[in-house]
């Protein structure tokens, strides 16, 4: 552990979090942006770690009310990548100097436990890269086997701490319950670095609910936090209006500003966490979404290395495809963009670095 000075003082009581979430005055928000950026600099430095995203399957057994991969979307061409295809993407990540690959998919029972374990072993053996898994709700036995095979991290967003809203937009599989907080605890016990996060602006989501989410980030002591604005695919109940949800008076907006406020507050709540500038933010602001997130607490980018024919079919929400065609940016261009922000491309796997307060700090 290394010692760092305490972060700048920006109150994180529940009342303060709610006040920041409601704040719209950019003059006032400048203090929040500065505190988040300084906290990021002190705790995780100026390196921006690159995680090569590989979307290995767009099959999904679930019927989530917002996601284009939902089982009920019959217009989507489905695919599963072969081991050889995934390994080729991992080799490319290594060539580009990335420290991590992220294997992402829908909740796909067709991705067999042993097949995935063999794939993880091959990636580790051939590239030495860190491996992050984002494969939805799998059994503890599956997650144990993949950890034993060498997987380093697991991402599982709880989406909202409002249990009633969560069950409405994310119905469980028949005969099964859905408890992502319990799975996150199990992943921690298995020795994974754990990541979670939320969508901001879900219909029915209140300011108070998001304040609870931020408090939950801190209570879970997350190693990674993913935050993006709510964007519904049109071929879903929330996209086509077939799932009407009453909008409360305290409905939180799903705009860029609000999502960036949550990024900044997440950095202050969990100063050591790795926080990506998410694709969803870049989708609603293709010009500066990544850059603004990096200036408000984020320290990770996940360029898409999925082969284009598959990438076009991984349509979680609209507007993502065109952006992602250029997602696997060449290293020189990305490095130049980061340099303009006073940042640099990170080296190594970019694991969470735990710190202790400096001597004498209260």
Could you give the domains of the chain? 46-252+303-332 (3.20.20.70)
Separation of CA 274 from chain center: 10
Q: In this predicted model, what pLDDT tens digit does every residue of 204-242 receive, in sequence order?
A: 999 999 999 999 999 999 999 999 999 999 999 999 999
Residue 8, pLDDT score: 53
Helices and strands in the chain, H and E counts: 15, 10
User: 284-290: which pairs have CB atoms within 8 A and are 24 or more residues apart?
Assistant: 284/229, 284/231, 284/255, 284/256, 284/319, 285/256, 286/323, 289/256, 290/337
Q: In this predicted model, what pLDDT tens digit does every residue of 320-335 receive, in sequence order?
A: 644 444 444 556 788 8
Residue 267 burial class via C-beta count within 10 angstroms: exposed 0-12, middle 13-18, buried 19 and up? buried
**8 A C-beta contact, residue 221 and residue 177:** no
Distance CA 119, CA 122 (A): 5
Q: In this predicted model, what pLDDT tens digit does every residue of 52-72 receive, in sequence order?
A: 999 999 999 999 999 999 999
Helices 14-22 and 207-220: crossing angle in degrees, nearest 10, is 130
Q: Give residues with Cβ within 8 angstroms of 322, minimum separation 6.
A: none
Question: Shortest CA distance to 278 belongs to which of 257, 296, 300, 258?
Answer: 300
Distance CA 261, CA 257 (A): 6
């Amino acid at each position: 552990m290394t010692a760092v000075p305490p972060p700048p003082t920006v109150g994180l009581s529940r009342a303060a979090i709610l006040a920041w979430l409601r704040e719209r005055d950019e003059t006032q928000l400048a203090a929040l942006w500065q505190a988040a950026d300084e906290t990021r600099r002190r705790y995780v430095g100026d390196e921006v770690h690159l995680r090569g995203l590989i979307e290995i399957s767009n099959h999904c057994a679930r019927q989530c009310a917002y996601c284009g991969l939902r089982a009920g979307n019959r217009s989507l061409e489905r695919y599963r990548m072969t081991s050889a295809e995934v390994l080729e993407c991992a080799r490319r990540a290594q060539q580009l100097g990335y420290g991590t690959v992220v294997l992402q998919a829908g909740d796909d029972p067709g991705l067999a436990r042993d097949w995935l374990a063999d794939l993880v072993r091959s990636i580790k053996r051939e590239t030495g890269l860190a491996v992050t898994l984002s494969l939805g709700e799998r059994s503890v036995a599956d997650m144990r086997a993949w950890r034993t095979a060498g997987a380093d991290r697991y991402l599982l967003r709880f989406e909202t701490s409002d249990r009633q809203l969560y069950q409405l937009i994310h119905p469980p599989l028949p005969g099964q319950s859905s408890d992502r907080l319990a799975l996150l605890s199990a992943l921690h016990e298995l020795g994974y670095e754990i990541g979670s996060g939320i969508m901001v602006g879900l219909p029915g989501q209140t300011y108070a609910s998001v304040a609870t989410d931020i408090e939950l980030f801190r209570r879970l002591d997350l190693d990674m936090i993913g935050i993006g604005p709510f964007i519904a695919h049109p071929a879903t109940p929330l996209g086509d209006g077939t799932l009407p949800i009453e909008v409360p008076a305290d409905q939180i907006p799903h705009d860029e500003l609000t999502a960036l406020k949550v990024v900044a507050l997440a950095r202050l709540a969990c100063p050591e966490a790795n926080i990506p500038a998410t694709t969803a933010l870049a989708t609603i602001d293709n010009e500066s979404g990544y850059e603004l997130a990096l200036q408000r607490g984020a320290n990770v980018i996940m360029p898409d290395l999925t082969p284009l024919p598959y990438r076009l079919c991984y349509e979680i929400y609209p507007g993502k495809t065109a952006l992602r065609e250029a997602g696997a940016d060449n290293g020189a261009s990305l490095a130049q963009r980061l340099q303009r922000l006073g940042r640099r491309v990170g080296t190594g796997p970019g694991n969470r670095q735990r710190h202790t307060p400096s001597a004498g700090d209260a």
